[in-house]
A and B are shown apart, each in its own frame.
Chain A
């Protein structure tokens, strides 16, 4: 089965190759695919069974799909390099005295180019290509380029007049987020999810027995990835955030076993991780519900008292102060969603906010910040990739 048909599969759930049908190009090489569509979760009827539906069936479509012949199915740079070398080796009329050069005009780092070249060269040799030490009669010019979706590798095989050009599209390798440390407290961020869909919150849960889940909160419900099985389950929750251009909501990972809570206006809900079903929902209008209240206590993000700090945007009180602090809050920048953002920790003493950390910069706006719980989280829209990123925040104290 092809596994690289989605544009940005990295950090995606393996069972969720979203909406692949639209990027298929060729009727050739058809294979069966299981596809889950986000839009299919939407419950449009406001009847009671629909409004309080605990879970909806995940819609599985068996598609007869066609792959993009030039898109690499490899998962690492080395795999892609080997696949590229195989294509080039297959196109070589003569495998004797072949020389090559690699030009990098992409965002790949020198170390990544070196990794690519090592694998590429080794694969050529494995395919019986005799590499010349100097210029040979056959020259391959490999250019590592990129378009806005993928890396694009071209191999120009020069033998005679017009070069033969071999192509391979390769998914970009994942990036590592920089960490900034200074001042009494250092903030660290760890990206634990990335994807094209706007998420409102995200978190990872372990139950103490080795089981773990990744939970995403979206405007229309949740998506839960079982780390053990790789199975993703979508649960729809009727929410007015579906019809908002600035949706919000948050998760609360409580203490009661395999359940977690969430707020997705107008509902407070809890979900059982084992069954992936809604355990209960409480309408936010105050009417009765049957959800355990403990799930909702830790999800209330509040702003600190007093005037906002100049130059800062959203301020959220830290539910669990760090490094001996008592009243602390996290503050984002004050720019709009077109600009990179930052986070800074402040200590609030006698009504005066003093910076407790340096600014931790992010490659895009912070679209959601949750600091009420013991594990603060930020959702960032990376302006370079266009993807949303879930970051787990941690703090270290200066000696």
Chain B
């Protein structure tokens, strides 16, 4: 009798699930601008935008010991628990049992320790116990789990030196790379410890420019494409479903104060006061950005209101009049931007227009990331930094390091604020805007639920029947 009830329930209970349920199957076609050269966490890009791309692709193949949930809190992944000593110098991560790499080998503490040792470097000592990975650090690392939940800290297995496998939701089925583009086919890892992904395959095209991506999504040749901020509204008008993250990319000016003409803080302050950030956010970036006077967006820090981003032309002119430097009226300052980034070009041009209105001559010059062009020496640069993690201290630390600053202790909110304040108050860095990350989605894409700090969760995406095009999603 009981068995009969059980069998009846089994046959009927599937309907107890609510809403539209995910379906398995299909091939997800994804395009991206950046080109990930290799699937190897050991060869991590230095540039923050390239690193973000690498992180997205590699997170499909590999898992980390821990992961971030949508609240930005660290949660178990390959490690099911962790503890540390009083000084937060010795950390023990207990591994999940029964996890296998896609080559069939088992995840063991030894394998995980070997992978992490290569990624964490020689300043830490990583060892294995029968059920755990132990990390010993010279200095206190209270944020180690947060660090291990982001960036390059994937657990991989190296059967031979060139071939890495992971435990993630997909495995590499095919990888084709040229100097200009890369294509990859990723197949679902059906025995993934966290459950098989919903789609059977991902066809990933890398190094595809924005225009090609826009065409692909419009003509039904892709399911997920990247959209530059300036294209989001246009794409939506064409009927493409668009989705944007919270603002996660910072555009900022960074001064080379070793240049004689940039040593006068009054000139740098005048430049800060002379830029119309609102026009950059609203016109150039089509309202897919927010004006910012801080390095971190408010949704991460909560205190961005303490930084002013307002233009003040009269004050800027007063400062220029008092500046010891006057050559900028005759000899242009050189502003460098990444020539591969069309949005950066537009923002740099706008900055130059603003400064010319102040009487500051500016020469805008693109810098090719591959070093093929030789731009003039820069007086200041337009940089684009991606938020590394949904964590105030870690994000700020990464940005400051990337900008050449050396932040001191950042343990209390007051210290974090002071660390952010310092380069801004000294006008070494001028934040301009924070930009959202945007995507175009085909009508078949369901459950596109990336974290609010951007990125993918393609293992959660499934393909449904086409629905009416158009609109936007957050």
Contacts and interface: CB of A to CB of B under 8 A. Distances in A.
A337 B449 contact: yes
Contacts of A44: 96-98
Interface stretch (B113-121, B141-149, B355-363): B141-149
A287 B3 contact: yes
Contacts of B70: 196, 386
A152 B13 contact: no
B370 interface: no
B448 interface: yes
Interface in A21-42: 21-28, 30, 37-40, 42
B195 A243 contact: yes
Most chain-B CB neighbours within 10 Å: which of A147, A287, A303? A147
Given A70-B414, A335-B20, A368-B16, A39 B96 contact: yes
Given A286-B7, A300-B13, A336 B464 contact: yes
Interface in B79-118: 79-88, 94, 96-98
Contacts of B449: 337-338
A361 interface: no
A299 B81 contact: no
Nearest to B81: A37
B197 A284 contact: no
Interface in B425-459: 446-449, 452, 459
B300 A37 contact: no
- In terms of DSSP, what is the predominant structure of the interface of chain A? loop
A86 interface: no
A25 B141 CA distance: 9
B211 to A, nearest CB: 27
A245 B80 contact: no
Interface string B184-196: 0000000011111
Given A23-B74, A40-B80, A196-B73, A296 B5 contact: yes
Interface in B169-208: 192-198
Given A147-B302, A167-B303, A66 B88 contact: yes
B417 interface: yes
A148 B72 contact: yes
Contacts of A365: 18-19
B16 A301 contact: yes
B19 A248 contact: no
B408 interface: no
Contacts of A303: 15
A148 B452 contact: yes
A37 B76 contact: yes
Contact of B19 (A19, A145, A341, A370): A341
A73 B16 CA distance: 40
B390 interface: yes
A34 to B, nearest CB: 12
A154 B19 contact: no
Interface in A148-174: 148-152, 154, 156, 165-169
Given A148-B300, A196-B73, A286-B6, A337 B414 contact: no
Contact of A301 (B15, B79, B145, B411): B15
Contact of A293 (B5, B97, B146): B5
B71 A26 contact: no
B194 A42 contact: no
A148 B390 contact: yes
Given A70-B414, A313-B19, A337-B449, A282 B2 contact: yes
In this complex, the interface size class of chain B, counting residues with CB under 8 Å from chain A, is 35 or more
A26 B299 contact: no
B8 interface: yes
Given A22-B66, A196-B71, A147 B18 contact: no
Most buried by B among A152, A289, A291: A152
Interface string A357-386: 000000001111110100000110000001
B10 interface: yes
A145 B13 contact: no
A38 B82 contact: no
B22 A145 contact: no
Interface string B6-32: 111110111111111110000000000
A21 B84 contact: yes
B2 A293 contact: yes
A332 B72 contact: no
B301 interface: yes
B459 A336 contact: no
Given A293-B1, A313-B20, A336-B446, A167 B305 contact: no
Interface in A217-268: 243-246, 248, 250, 263, 265-266, 268
A369 B18 contact: yes
Interface string A98-117: 00000001000000000000
A66 B142 contact: yes
B209 interface: no
Contacts of B145: 21-22
A63 B9 CA distance: 43
Nearest to A314: B18
B302 A146 contact: yes
A243 B194 contact: yes
Contact of B15 (A151, A152, A314, A378): A314
B142 A25 contact: yes
Interface string B296-328: 001111111110000000000000000000000
Contact of B299 (A148, A250, A297): A148
A366 B96 contact: no
Contact of B413 (A169, A250, A370, A379): A169
Contacts of B306: 143, 154, 156, 165
B213 interface: no
B33 interface: no
B417 A301 contact: no
A8 interface: yes
B348 to A, nearest CB: 30
A316 interface: yes
Nearest to B75: A19
Contacts of A366: 18-19
A105 B305 contact: yes
A302 interface: yes
B436 to A, nearest CB: 14
Contact of A337 (B12, B447, B452): B447
Contacts of B88: 24, 27, 66
A329 to B, nearest CB: 11
B414 A59 contact: no
22 contacts: A19-B73, A19-B75, A21-B83, A22-B66, A25-B143, A27-B142, A38-B76, A40-B80, A44-B97, A44-B98, A64-B84, A149-B72, A151-B302, A167-B417, A248-B13, A289-B3, A334-B19, A334-B20, A337-B22, A365-B18, A367-B17, A372-B16
- List the 3 closest A-B pairs by CB distance, nearest first: A152-B302, A39-B80, A22-B74
Interface of B: 1-3, 5-10, 12-22, 66, 69-76, 79-88, 94, 96-98, 140, 142-143, 145-146, 149, 192-198, 246, 298-306, 390, 392-393, 411-414, 417, 446-449, 452, 459-460, 464, 473
